[in-house]
Amino acid sequence: MSKNREIGDIFDRIADILDLCEDNPFRIRAYRNAARNIRELSENIEDIAERDELTKIPGIGTDLADKIKEFITTGKINHYDELKKKFPEGLVELLAIQGLGPKTLAKLNKELGIKNLDDLERALDGKEILTLRGMGVKKIKDIKRGIELLKQSGERMPLGIALPLAEELIFEISRIPGTEGTIAAGSLRRMKETVGDIDILTMAENGERVVKAFTKLSLVKEVLAAGDTKGSVILKNGMQVDLRVVEPGSYGAALQYFTGSKAHNIKLRTIALDKGLKINEYGVFRGTENIAGETEEEIYKTLKLAWIPPEIREDKGEIEAALNSKLPNLVELRDIRGDLHMHSKWSDGKVTIEEMALKAKDLGYEYIAMTDHSPSSRIARGLSVERLYEKKKEVDTLNKKIKGIKILMGSEVDIRGDGTLDYPDEVLKELDIVIASVHSGFKMDRESMTKRMVNALHNPFVHSIVHPTGRLIGEREAYEVDMDEVIKTAKALGKALEVNSYYLRLDLNDINVRKAIQTGVKIVISTDAHLPDQLGMMRLGVATARRGWAEKKDVLNTMGLKGLTKWLNEVRDK
């Protein structure tokens, strides 16, 4: 679905240019929302256009639908081409820097002639920039940190973008005659939150022919190498992909080797050497005899180890656990019984509660929680108390109408600066579930932010803290907070912490997941979905939880409805 990504990227760049022009903020937001919704479609946008159903996509009106049709037909959008002429290309790209807004950037362009990143970095190290109004030492420091973050994110792609891209490639490679067992390896198979490049493995007898066909796929922009067993390309989005073609006898060894991590593989090689063996991408050898290599399982078995799930192959105790038969039985996507964080049209969601519920029912869920925003989230159309009660009536009606799934009445309630919540307790106590989160004041110092979150956990009606560190991968760093103290408080009060599955959040991250479950804190894996298709991001949250060694028993929403309801009530009774 490369067209989905291409159109989404163009709409985002249009929004960037409009931002630089200080255009209508609602128009800018419309392009950004459309870009996000298009990228997250589960269907090819060309198929939707062919049915003349583009305006059924949330956020796509007649004007944007016409631009999508124009791109599908001609490969370009004239409006975008005209907008690009207004500013140097390098200037628009600077809008991705955290801490550098469009007004500041326009001023830097006008008064210092800044046109690209090199110009900006030179200016930040000079004295002239300090003469501009609003450009103090702290502002300059923030922009420099934003540049550093941008450079780091530019080298790696979020898992939620890389994974569907890899799956598209795997599908195409699988269609090449003679291929078998095509699979992702590397950090993608380990489900790391960001991916530097994509490694793909396949079996075939005629490697040269497979590599040649791979280099001619429609997603490929540039061919770096094309040999008998390996091909390397750059995709149109700039990502490098390496394909390795292996023989059946070494498939398992190659998969294990190229999955990594490097530290995990070094530890395995050490174990092999102690047993008088050698292990590499071709197999396990005793002298010159290849004694294992067809499957990963036999590679590990030869070393007297149980097979280790890819997500935890990071040399963080997994090999020792395997040696002692103490590997965790990691949570799986099929264990999830419901989603406890999602939004509808009542706040900033794109569809109705009923549409979200029916999608969740199709996924086999027993329950969902509709957790639209509280009043302080004005940009997200947070609900007043009056609107909250109107929504509750709708939820009650839908629970009578829709059989086979329970809709829990909830709210994502803002945590104020002092740790109090955005609704009074007499309102909170009438909700089935209350999740609390920080949406403002991200620059509080560590002590104040920690106190803020701890105070929120002490509210008797709060069940969990969601996206607890506030980070957006590649866009916004986590705020300063003592997560050890938050985890300790959650444990003492019997509260849960969320693994937010939205692809730019994955928050808690794997490190904090492991801390939480080792402390005995329940985690809840939710999607924060604003569209039905976003419910599919649950797999990213499950992968993050697995990287944190979470088992089914550690995850709140692996409970059935009866068990969940009991837990929700017990939290309030403490």
The predicted-structure confidence for 133-188, as pLDDT tens digits, reads as follows 888 888 888 888 888 877 765 678 899 999 999 999 999 999 999 999 999 999 99
Cβ atoms of residues 321 and 340 within 8 Å: no
Q: What is the reported pLDDT for 67?
A: 92
DSSP 155-183: TSEEHHHHHHHHHHHHHHHHTSTT-EEEE
Q: Which of 3-7, 386-390, 456-460 has the lowest mean pLDDT?
A: 3-7
Cβ of 9: how many Cβ atoms within 10 Å? 15
Cβ atoms of residues 250 and 278 within 8 Å: no
Q: Among residues 440, 444, 376, 442, which one has the least CA distance to residue 411?
A: 376
Sheet holding 198-203, edge to edge: 180-184, 198-203, 240-246, 230-235, 220-226
How far apart CA 87 and CA 92 sit, in angstroms, is: 7
How far apart CA 506 and CA 85 sit, in angstroms, is: 37
CATH 3.30.1360.40 fits 251-323, yes or no: no
Q: What is the reported pLDDT for 152?
A: 66
Domain residue limits, the chain: 2-154, 157-246, 251-323, 333-573
Cβ atoms of residues 346 and 380 within 8 Å: no
How far apart CA 145 and CA 156 sit, in angstroms, is: 17
pTM over 0.95: no
Cβ atoms of residues 215 and 172 within 8 Å: no
Spell out the residues 6+ positions from residue 78 whose beta carbon is closer than 8 angstroms to its own.
70
Q: What is the reported pLDDT for 154?
A: 61
How far apart CA 437 and CA 435 sit, in angstroms, is: 7
DSSP 338-377: EEEEE--TTTT-SS-HHHHHHHHHHTT-SEEEE-PBPTT-
Rounded-to-5 percentages of helix, strand, coil across the chain = 50, 15, 35
Q: What is the reported pLDDT for 17?
A: 87
- Using one digit for the tens of pLDDT, what is the confidence trace for 380-414? 789 999 999 999 999 999 999 999 999 999 999 99
Q: Quickly state the pLDDT bin for 320 (edges 50, 70, 90).
A: very high
Q: Which two tokens stand for residue 176?
A: 């090449």
Q: What is the mean pLDDT of residues 520-531?
A: 96
Q: What is the mean pLDDT of residues 39-64?
A: 87
How far apart CA 380 and CA 449 sit, in angstroms, is: 22
Half-sphere exposure in the Cβ direction for 388 (13 Å, CA): 25
Position 557: which residue type? N
Residue 99 clears pLDDT 80, i.e. is over it: no
Q: What is the reported pLDDT for 40?
A: 77
Topology of the domain covering 157-246: Beta Polymerase; domain 2 (3.30.460)
| CA 217 to chain CA mean position, Å | 26
Residue with tokens 């005995």: 520
How far apart CA 79 and CA 66 sit, in angstroms, is: 11
Q: Which two tokens stand for residue 255?
A: 């998969």
How far apart CA 469 and CA 573 sit, in angstroms, is: 27
Position 245: which residue type? V
Q: Which two tokens stand for residue 26?
A: 């609602």
Classify residue 244 as left (phi > 0), alpha (psi -120 to 50) or beta. beta
User: Mean pLDDT score of the chain, rounded to an integer?
Assistant: 92
- Using one digit for the tens of pLDDT, what is the confidence trace for 328-357? 999 999 999 999 999 999 998 989 999 999
Cβ of 567: how many Cβ atoms within 10 Å? 15
CATH 2.40.30.10 fits 333-573, yes or no: no
Q: Quickly state the pLDDT bin for 2 (edges 50, 70, 90).
A: low
Q: What is the reported pLDDT for 1?
A: 54
Q: Which two tokens stand for residue 68?
A: 């999508």
| Exposed / middle / buried, residue 432 (Cβ in 10 Å: 0-12, 13-18, 19+) | buried
Cβ atoms of residues 489 and 436 within 8 Å: no
Q: What is the mean pLDDT of residues 458-470?
A: 97
Q: What is the reported pLDDT for 358?
A: 97
Q: Among residues 17, 6, 39, which one has the least CA distance to residue 503?
A: 39
Q: Using N-to-C axis directions, what is the helix angle for 251-259 and 262-274, rounded to 10°? A: 130
Could you say which DSSP state residue 551 is in? B
The CATH architecture to which 2-154 belongs is: Orthogonal Bundle (1.10)
How far apart CA 450 and CA 456 sit, in angstroms, is: 10
Q: Which two tokens stand for residue 271?
A: 């174990």
Q: What is the reported pLDDT for 57?
A: 86
